[in-house]
Amino acid sequence: MDSADRLMQEIAARRADLIELTQELIRIPTLNPPGEFYREICDFLDRRLVRHGFATELIRAEGAIGDSDKHPRWNIVARKDGARPGECVHFNSHIDVVEIGKGWTTDPFGGEVIDGKIYGRGACDMKGGLAASIIAAEAFIAICPDFAGAIEISGTADEESGGFGGVAYLAEKGFFSPEKVQHVIIPEPLNKDRICLGHRGVWWAEIETHGEIAHGSMPFLGDCAVRHMGAVVSEMEDSLFPALALKRTDMPVVPEGARQSTLNINSIHGGEAEQDPDYTGLPSPCVPDSCRMVIDRRFLIEEDIDEVQEEIHGLLRHVQENRENFRYDVRELQRVLPTMTEKSAPVVQSVARAVAAVMGREPQYVVSPGTYDQKHIDRIGRLKNCIAYGPGILYLAHKPDEYVGIDDMVESAQVMGRTLLDLLE
Ligand SMILES: [Zn+2]
């Protein structure tokens, strides 16, 4: 039997270990926000990986957005050097999970196994992927102890809130510099036979319209900022949304509905602030002097960030030309450029061969509609040879009764193991 077959068997034989590891990770409720139990999950991973011969480092993202003494942003980076010089393959998983939400029929932090699936918040996004990468690495080291290069496994904070206390911080500290790491695989839940090459860009902005406060019984003495915002919304309906629908991309974004430019209005707020739920009084009669809208524009690799911004500024100038007393401001909240790794990149080629070997079919190449930590590895780390590949069904992420299939985890661990064999043997 050759080493590839032995490795496939070894990973399959570790199925019970994979299940237990996933359950243990789910049972640490690393909710973000606020960012709880990061230290506990890092300590847990530390104990496990040290036992398997990894050198580990726990890094707190001191001073990063979100980091505080109450909720410190802890990260772990583990490294196992091989017997000979070679390249480094890095598996990066985020350790945080989003809020539970309503509608669960299973314990969100129980890690229950029902019909071949493990349930819990973070099961698919992405503790199942983290567990699969650990099992793949441990099995590979057992079968090929004299491998070349190095394997790194990181567990990082805050991906769900932008990754600034996690991958961005580590990238700034040089953990993803191309001299140190040559291949990065992020086991996000993109389905076991798909290779995710990157993601669309993001531009978040807040538009504020200004008015003048007055008594609500005499609105003609003031100027209603909410009506001004209404004019912005109707201009968006008339000209912007139809124009965005026509901007198509060659990026293989899934789902297909996201294969175009999109804009979401995240929120609109005008006038008096909302009161606490226990407030029993009535609102006061005032003409709103301010209205704020947060927009979430997702853009394509074919689009330029300056054009994306100019589109909104142009729309607002157009409203101003046709409307008396229309005054506004635009504030940028966040920008992330689109990223897409070439299909010819070594890590893509290697994972594609592994998918074909394990599953007997070619992988599907996809791009994510939303961003994930690849943005920091690309922009700060300057490392282009990076993809997302992992078990779990994308649409289950952040939903009630989130689960990950055990067979899927085993198969994706086999793909990860074969990738290590391909790049490091
Ligand atoms: Zn995720």
Segment 300-317, tens digit of pLDDT: 999 999 999 999 999 999
> How many angstroms does the Cα of residue 155 sit away from the middle of ligand 1?
12
> How many angstroms does the Cα of residue 229 sit away from the middle of ligand 1?
34
> How many angstroms does the Cα of residue 345 sit away from the middle of ligand 1?
23
> How many angstroms does the Cα of residue 173 sit away from the middle of ligand 1?
22
The tokens describing 346, both together, are 């070594």
> How many angstroms does the Cα of residue 366 sit away from the middle of ligand 1?
16
> How many angstroms does the Cα of residue 266 sit away from the middle of ligand 1?
20
Q: Tell how many helices (H) and how many strands (E) occur in the chain.
A: 11, 16
pLDDT at 244: 97
pLDDT at 183: 97
> How many angstroms does the Cα of residue 360 sit away from the middle of ligand 1?
27
> How many angstroms does the Cα of residue 424 sit away from the middle of ligand 1?
27
> How many angstroms does the Cα of residue 160 sit away from the middle of ligand 1?
7
Instruction: For CA atoms 102, 107, 113, 115, give the dihedral sign.
Output: negative
For residue 134, report the phi and psi dihedrals to the nearest 5 degrees: -65, -45
> How many angstroms does the Cα of residue 353 sit away from the middle of ligand 1?
24
Q: Label residue 259 by pLDDT band (50, 70, 90).
A: very high
pLDDT at 382: 87
* 253-256, long-range: CB < 8 A, 24+ apart: 253/200, 253/366, 253/367, 253/368, 253/369, 254/194, 254/366, 254/367, 254/368, 254/369, 254/394, 255/369
Report the distance separating Cα 62 and Cα 68, nearest Å.
8
* DSSP SS3 for 359: helix
> How many angstroms does the Cα of residue 277 sit away from the middle of ligand 1?
32
> How many angstroms does the Cα of residue 168 sit away from the middle of ligand 1?
15
> How many angstroms does the Cα of residue 219 sit away from the middle of ligand 1?
48
C-beta of residue 66 within 8 angstroms of C-beta of residue 131: no
C-beta of residue 104 within 8 angstroms of C-beta of residue 400: yes
**Lowest pLDDT segment from 89-93, 280-284, 324-328:** 280-284
> How many angstroms does the Cα of residue 304 sit away from the middle of ligand 1?
26
pLDDT at 107: 98
Q: How confident is the model over 256-266, as a mean pLDDT?
A: 95
C-beta of residue 211 within 8 angstroms of C-beta of residue 225: yes
Report the distance separating Cα 38 and Cα 30, nearest Å.
6
Is pLDDT at 274 greater than 90 in this prediction?
A: no
Q: Label residue 361 by pLDDT band (50, 70, 90).
A: very high
pLDDT at 422: 97
Longest pairwise C-alpha distance within the chain: 87
Q: Find the helix or strand (DSSP H, E) in which 247 lies.
A: none
Q: How confident is the model over 30-36, as a mean pLDDT?
A: 97
Report the distance separating Cα 296 and Cα 259, nearest Å.
16
pTM: 0.90
> How many angstroms does the Cα of residue 99 sit away from the middle of ligand 1?
13
> How many angstroms does the Cα of residue 74 sit away from the middle of ligand 1?
17
> How many angstroms does the Cα of residue 96 sit away from the middle of ligand 1?
8
Q: Label residue 1 by pLDDT band (50, 70, 90).
A: confident
pLDDT at 45: 98
C-beta of residue 409 within 8 angstroms of C-beta of residue 132: yes
Instruction: For CA atoms 241, 242, 248, 253, give the dihedral sign.
Output: positive
Instruction: For CA atoms 26, 29, 33, 38, give the dihedral sign.
Output: negative
The tokens describing 394, both together, are 């994308």
> How many angstroms does the Cα of residue 68 sit away from the middle of ligand 1?
23
Mean pLDDT of the chain: 96
> How many angstroms does the Cα of residue 23 sit away from the middle of ligand 1?
17
The string of DSSP codes covering 387-413 is EE--SS-GGGTTSTT-EEEHHHHHHHH
CA distances from 316 to 46, 69, 209, 247 (A): 52, 43, 10, 20
> How many angstroms does the Cα of residue 361 sit away from the middle of ligand 1?
25
pLDDT at 395: 87
Q: How confident is the model over 184-208, as a mean pLDDT?
A: 96
Closest CA to 17 of 123, 135, 97, 102: 135
> How many angstroms does the Cα of residue 187 sit away from the middle of ligand 1?
8
pLDDT at 56: 98
> How many angstroms does the Cα of residue 372 sit away from the middle of ligand 1?
7
Report the distance separating Cα 275 and Cα 389, nearest Å.
45
Q: Residues of the chain with pLDDT > 70: what percent?
A: 100
Q: How confident is the model over 81-109, as a mean pLDDT?
A: 97
C-beta of residue 135 within 8 angstroms of C-beta of residue 22: no
pLDDT at 394: 87
> How many angstroms does the Cα of residue 78 sit away from the middle of ligand 1?
20
Report the distance separating Cα 228 and Cα 94, nearest Å.
42
Report the distance separating Cα 391 and Cα 389, nearest Å.
7
> How many angstroms does the Cα of residue 399 sit away from the middle of ligand 1?
12
> How many angstroms does the Cα of residue 188 sit away from the middle of ligand 1?
5
> How many angstroms does the Cα of residue 166 sit away from the middle of ligand 1?
13
Within 236-276, residue ranges assigned H as helices are 241-246
Q: Label residue 186 by pLDDT band (50, 70, 90).
A: very high
Is pLDDT at 141 greater than 90 in this prediction?
A: yes
pLDDT at 381: 84
Q: How confident is the model over 115-132, as a mean pLDDT?
A: 98
Burial class (CB within 10 angstroms; exposed 0-12, middle 13-18, buried 19+) of 112: middle
Pairing of strands 262-270, 290-299: antiparallel
Instruction: For CA atoms 406, 412, 418, 424, give the dihedral sign.
Output: negative
Residue with tokens 């961005």: 168
> How many angstroms does the Cα of residue 286 sit away from the middle of ligand 1?
43
> How many angstroms does the Cα of residue 8 sit away from the middle of ligand 1?
26
C-beta of residue 226 within 8 angstroms of C-beta of residue 270: yes
> How many angstroms does the Cα of residue 30 sit away from the middle of ligand 1?
13
